[in-house]
Structure 1
Amino acid sequence: MPETGKSRRSAVWPVAGRGRIGRNEVRKVETETKTFRALDYRYGGGWCSEAVAAQLSWGYRMLEADCSDTVRERLCVALADLTSVAGWTSFDAGQSDAAHARFDRALQLARAGGDEVLASNILYRKGRVFLHHDAAIDALEMFRLGERAAEQGGSMLMLSVLCANEAWAYAKLGDRDLALASLGRATDAFERAEDAVAPVWARFFGETDLTAMAGTVHTELAVTLDSAYASAAITELTKVVKSYGCNMARSKSFCLVMLATSHLLEGDVDQAAAVVDDALAKALTLKSSRFMDRLTPLKKAADYRSDNPDARALGERITAFRSVAA
């Protein structure tokens, strides 16, 4: 069970309104944010959403303290990032309304600190909440706003992230041409990105993650349009699940679910079952409401082939897992 950091809260930051804060206090906020981000990636938002919220409440009180303008700007950015992590963990814990509220607050803080690139990242995350709930049009609006912020901030990496997620939204809408065009834009922006200057909250998106997004888009197109896209998804996602380490356990589990879905759509029930077993075993360490939701398309694909006893058994395993994990 991961350390949430609750017990360290009062020792980390100063009491609001007493004295003057400087870079050291802001660095402590940044360090805590880095810790929570790592916990979220590895174990899911359910492990740390309450602890992040507690730190956030304390952190906002720092805004009342005296500091220089330079420190104030950096503090706003640091708290924007922490608030964004709080929003993401809320989202992963199944609390979408709280996630939206925190992303809105994070966006205000990022802009108060003059960081348009962080603003683009927050808009991407807000868009992902909409996308998860099949509100693809609303998601696209957020991603487009994020694109503009990424361009204003000069971040090709965030532009790549946003274009890749636009591709996913278009695939959900069944628009193959726009989905593939956006995926091409994502690849082009990624090739022009300079990894050395990427901020800490954008470094998650490397070559493996771009390939994962391609696999996601092709899986979605296979679900919404034509099962022929499952072949490309299988190639991409097989490569991805071999690349992700234990520090990205949630992302790997998501990709395994999509890989199993694509195998089912291709008619390879045996391989789908093997991949599902791997996904469910890895998910035992997670506390992620999103993982449970991601099982829905897979269950539908299994139900579609319910005339096959192995597919039927696969669907029953998913139902049993959800029941135990609920």
Structure 2
Amino acid sequence: MASPHASSSPRPNTAFRELRGQRSPGEFAAAVRRAGREIGEHVSCDARYVGRVESGEIRCPNYAYERVFRHMFPGREPADMGFAPRETVRGRGARKKGSAPPGQSESPAESRTSPPRRSGSGRRPDGTDDSNDGHKESDVLRRAFMTSGTAVVAAASLGAAAPGARTRRRAGEPEARAVENAVRQIRLLDDRHGADGLYRRAARPLKAAYELLDAQTRRQSVADRLHAGAGELAISVGWLAHDSGRFSDARSHYAEALATARVAGDPALEAHAFCNTAFLARDAGRPREAVRAAQAAQRAGRRLGSARLMSLLTLREAGGWARLGDRAACEEALLRARTLFGRGPAGSDPEWMTFFGEAELEGLEAQCRSALGDWRRAAEHAERAVDLQDPHFARNIALYTAQLAGDLARAGSPDAAAAAASRALDLLEEVQSSRVRTMLTATARLLRRHAADPEVSAFLARHEPAVRAV
């Protein structure tokens, strides 16, 4: 009899889903991180990881996660949590069966970059780093992306048929999963390091993903996943362009994603593409287009049953109204967004929205208040955003801190502004974001008139070489 773990597609892990109970994936991920800290394990679990376990994509956790889960659920073995035996997933036992398993024991970044665990600070068992050497971690993670993201998708697409061959290319479950993994890897690296060092690297998996759309597929479900994955990848690459200041490239990638959504009849992808288009239009100085795109995103998003998604889309609309100087419309949209956010998370919340928690809500309101000239209120929201943000989202912490510095400078608090700007400079050792550097440069210009202040002088002395060096 065939092993139940030998099927060609992942089986949902219903046992693990039951353990999560009524908690959202994000709330459960936070509980996993807390449990890890209780026993000295540093796991950067997020809602994406929880989703991959529950979908069956991760069939067996790595050793660090296993120890955390055993701590969380005393008396339960991994099998009781729905996991496959380790020997059937990787290592000699798996290889002797003659083929790679359809699932995996951990994410590509985890399995390819984690050396043996060291005591104290150092390499985390899930492929991230507790040390202060952000550049080393960045290099390791980018190598993981190049080997397990780009290469996998490119091989799945470009290697499906030799140049000039008459054989039609085929795409199935492995190719769909490769595209989805590339999206997740890009998002993970962007969360921790920002966009600047990733954009050029991401072009190759995007090209490969779109070539897969021309491949022959046996099942409509695979074709749908390929379209959704390619569209999400276009949005992710578009965001890398957007955050690194390449607005025309970003606009092209978002338009490509929107076209893919329309072809596939995918309202979730359409809402996401319009969401990012609205954000880009706001940043590019086209606030009326931002409002229209955000409203189009809401029309698509209403069919999805996610209050949190509608909250974010409404905040995109608020950002456009703020840039137009329409205080009444902005206030109304902000109130609507908070009401929707208050309805809580749901199973229908899109996977890409793992960044959207209370911290992002506060951060986006800070941006609106700042655009309206309410510097003090903007600073209050930005400070709350910094305090509430999960440490995993290093890029967002840098962004909120830079926002706080600018708002404090404009509100007439140069000392506090310089202190916040200095903290943001510290974060630039790990995060590479043109957006953050541009914000800090604007703050430095505002603070030059206060250069006699010791705190301001110290920041200005650090600013130019630090920004130039990144």
CA shift at 1:322, angstroms? 3.6
Contact 1:292 1:322 in 2 (8 A): yes
Distance 2:331 2:442 in 1: 21
Partner of 2:452: 309
Partner of 2:175: 25
One-letter amino acid of the structure 2 residue matched with residue 241 of structure 1: V
CA shift at 1:315, angstroms? 5.4
TM-score where L is the length of structure 2: 0.63
Matched, 1:37 2:187: yes
Q: How many residues matched?
A: 317
Distance 1:203 1:48 in 2: 20
Distance 1:169 1:283 in 2: 28
Where does the alignment leave 5 or more consecutive residues of structure 2 unmatched? Answer: 1-138, 162-167
Partner of 1:262: 407
Which entry has the higher C-alpha Rg, 1 or 2? 2
Q: 1:42 to 1:71 in 2, by over 3 A?
A: same
Contact 1:230 1:266 in 2 (8 A): yes
> Taking every aligned residue pair, what percent have the same amino acid on both sides?
26
Contact 1:110 1:119 in 2 (8 A): yes
Paired residue for 2:423, among 263, 278, 290?
A: 278
Contact 1:195 1:203 in 2 (8 A): no
**Larger relative contact order (C-alpha < 8 A, sep ≥ 6)?**
1
Q: Name the SS for the 2:355 alignment partner.
A: coil
Q: Name the SS for the 2:393 alignment partner.
A: helix
Matched, 1:62 2:212: yes
Contact 1:150 1:156 in 2 (8 A): no
Distance 1:147 1:259 in 2: 29
One-letter amino acid of the structure 1 residue matched with residue 452 of structure 2: P
Distance 1:183 1:34 in 2: 30
Paired residue for 2:285, among 129, 134, 147?
A: 134
Matched, 1:50 2:200: yes
Distance 2:296 2:463 in 1: 37
Partner of 2:362: 211
Distance 1:165 1:176 in 2: 15
Q: 1:242 to 1:94 in 2, by over 3 A?
A: same
Distance 2:151 2:366 in 1: 44
Distance 2:446 2:324 in 1: 18
Greater shift, 232-241 or 180-189, is seen at: 232-241
Distance 1:65 1:324 in 2: 44
More helix by share: 1
One-letter amino acid of the structure 2 residue matched with residue 250 of structure 1: R
1:162-196, Cα deviation, whole Å (9 max, x unpaired) = 21122222222222221111111111222235333
1:264-312, Cα deviation, whole Å (9 max, x unpaired) = 2332221111111001110222222222232354245335xx1562386
One-letter amino acid of the structure 1 residue matched with residue 398 of structure 2: S
TM-score where L is the length of structure 1: 0.88
Partner of 1:226: none
Contact 1:115 1:153 in 2 (8 A): no
Matched, 1:191 2:356: no
Q: 1:65 to 1:159 in 2, by over 3 A?
A: same
Distance 1:134 1:19 in 2: 43
Distance 1:295 1:117 in 2: 35
Distance 1:324 1:72 in 2: 45
Partner of 1:6: 146
Q: Name the SS for the 1:245 alignment partner.
A: coil
One-letter amino acid of the structure 2 residue matched with residue 77 of structure 1: A
Contact 1:39 1:47 in 2 (8 A): no
Contact 1:216 1:233 in 2 (8 A): yes
Alignment of 1:131-210 (within 5 A): 131-210=282-361
Distance 1:242 1:80 in 2: 33
Alignment of 1:221-260 (within 5 A): 221-222=372-373, 229-260=374-405
1:21-73, Cα deviation, whole Å (9 max, x unpaired) = 22232122111210111111211112221221111111112112211222111
Where does the alignment leave 5 or more consecutive residues of structure 1 unmatched? Answer: 223-228
Q: 1:11 to 1:27 in 2, by over 3 A?
A: closer
Contact 1:219 1:230 in 2 (8 A): yes
Distance 1:269 1:89 in 2: 32
